[in-house]
Structure 1
Amino acid sequence: MMDVGGRTLRVAHWRLDEPSDHPPLLFFNGIGANIEAVAPLAEMLTERAFVMFDMPGTGESPDPTIPYNPFTMTWTATQILDRLGLEEVDVMGVSWGGAMAQHYALQYPGRTRRLVLVATTAGMLMVPGNPAALTKMANPRRYIDPKFMNEHFQTLYGGVDKDGASHQKDSHIGRLKPPSPRGYFYQLIAMLGWTSLPALPFMSKEVLIMMGDDDQIVPLINGKILNTAIRNSRLEVIEGGGHLFLLTHADESVAALREFLDAPDGEDRAAA
């Protein structure tokens, strides 16, 4: 637990005390998701440090007392990095966290080396997903009822036809912890009216956009919009991947991450 920016947050980090040729990775999670939900990704990226925190009212972080927005929460993220002695980082976000990652890179370009956007959008200016998936996503039972999640996982997230994906699905369900009602509500309203689209053409960072072609929540077209708006970006489409392809297609996702993050400066830009 760490007291930063007037908030108490649960912070997790991996391998900060180990030597590495790579900058640490700052990760912003999806809405309502706790640290454990993405811990397998952190554990697979063994060659680099990894930093993540539970948003207020999610995981083990206490409920927020007042609402927050991308400006205040990305500033809070810098306070966490300062406490950990970290200056420049690679920044990554998935879904709701992908919007937060965009805002971080735009607000703190001097602390951002490269940016990875996963299954995300430019904010309010987005193409919505499958109504059936969005309706079930809004149902709090997906956090507290494993049977509900198991029955509706394909509708919610797609991408579970791949070999081994069923095991990943069950493992993911077991790692979820429901956010508090206030925590979930404050995450929802944090992004009301927010969009990165007008600023994206001015972003100079090298950006990897990863999307699944079976994503029922954030359709692939949103990744294409980001790819068009960001001049130094490349789009990686995970075939058969749903909204959680980072977990159901973990090996393929980690390989794409490493190829992008480990490329010499300028090389990935040329490839894009």
Structure 2
Amino acid sequence: MTVRGRSLRVAVRGGIPGRSPLLLCNGMGAGLELLQPFVDALDPRREVVRFDMPGIGGSPAPVVPYHLWTLAPLLSGLLDQLGYQQADVLGMSWGGGLAQQFAVRCPSRVRRLVLVATSPGALMVPGHPRALLRMLTPRRHRGHGYAPGIAGELYGGSVRDNHLLGRGLLHATTRPLTTRGYYYQLLATAGWTSLPVLPLVRQPTLILAGDDDPIIPTVNARILHRLIPRSELTIYHGGHLDLVTQAGHLARLVEAFLGAETPSANGTGA
């Protein structure tokens, strides 16, 4: 699809008509296939929309750089073209920043918000230095001999005990990405932070964070929870990619939240 002048590869899983779809915003360098286990674990009646960022997966490489500040209209235009007035939005890792920005800039388009393994951006508590250095290159998405050796150190959780799982996630289920697409996506977060505007997030929000995430320490989830008025926080035992590796467990939490009539205000789970 061409949305606001950008070509995007989009996937839609059909569901019950008239119900808000779930719009998924993926992490750094990952194509929409990465979240397939999570999509499969959701209620099959729930409509799900996924897309690849420019230069990632099946979306053509962007001509010029972009920034998170400017991407909310892109998501709004995507919903317009698909015929949706409103959606539930789930953002994982880098996609969590995009989801936060969209919720603030276009509040009427977001019914409920789910933030997974993410942070408030530049003003976050940083992860492990080695993990952050690994994120500066797309190599983990390419070299089959490289990903297994660094997967546990980078993603934590169940991937620590099964390094080949990291390789399978990063290669078998995703399409090649362009170097330009990866670095444009990385640069899109330069100087971006949601910290000053988090009190303006009025949507009911579920925050999910792993207790073994080398990239995003759990303290960042607690900061999000403290500043987002109608939020609830669940710390799960796992790492950065557990939305995929432990999809069944986290999908149940997400389904319960999206289907709840009145989400708890400032509740904390474990």
Shorter-normalised TM-score: what interval? Answer: over 0.9
- Give the superposition deviation at 1:21: 7.0
What percent of counterpart residues are identical?
43
Q: Distance in 2 between matches of 1:133 and 1:70?
A: 22
1:7 maps to: 6
- Give the superposition deviation at 1:167: 7.5
2:262 is the alignment partner of 1:269: no
Aligned residues of 1:20 and 1:48 also touching (Cα < 8 A): no
Within 5 Å, give how 1:78-93 maps onto structure 2: 78-93=76-91
Q: Distance in 2 between matches of 1:218 and 1:93?
A: 14
Q: Which residue of the other structure, out of 20, 23, 41, is the alignment partner of 1:23? A: 20
Q: Distance in 1 between matches of 2:18 and 2:75?
A: 23
Which ranges of 4 or more aligned residues in structure 1 deviate by more than 4 Å? 165-168
- Give the superposition deviation at 1:111: 1.0
SS at match of 1:114: strand
Q: Which residue of the other structure, out of 224, 234, 248, is the alignment partner of 2:245? A: 248
Within 5 Å, give how 1:120-131 maps onto structure 2: 120-131=118-129
Q: Distance in 2 between matches of 1:72 and 1:177?
A: 25
Q: One-letter code of the match for 1:35?
A: L
1:181 maps to: 179
Tell me which moved more, 180-189 or 212-221.
180-189
- Give the superposition deviation at 1:178: 3.6
Q: One-letter code of the match for 2:13?
A: W
Please, what TM-score do these two structures have when normalized by structure 2? Answer: 0.92
Q: One-letter code of the match for 1:114?
A: R
SS at match of 1:147: coil
2:205 maps to: 207
- Give the superposition deviation at 1:271: 5.0
2:98 is the alignment partner of 1:109: no
Unpaired runs of at least 5, structure 1: none
Q: One-letter code of the match for 2:195?
A: L
Give aligned pairs, total.
266
2:131 is the alignment partner of 1:133: yes
Note closer, same or farther for the CA distance 1:63–1:162 as it changes in structure 2 (3 Å cut).
closer
2:30 is the alignment partner of 1:33: yes
Deviations 1:8-67 (A, max 9, x none): 11111111xx42574101111111110111122122212211111110100011110111
Deviations 1:99-118 (A, max 9, x none): 00000000111111100001
Unpaired runs of at least 5, structure 2: none
1:217 maps to: 215
Q: Which residue of the other structure, out of 157, 169, 173, is the alignment partner of 1:172? A: 169
SS at match of 1:199: helix
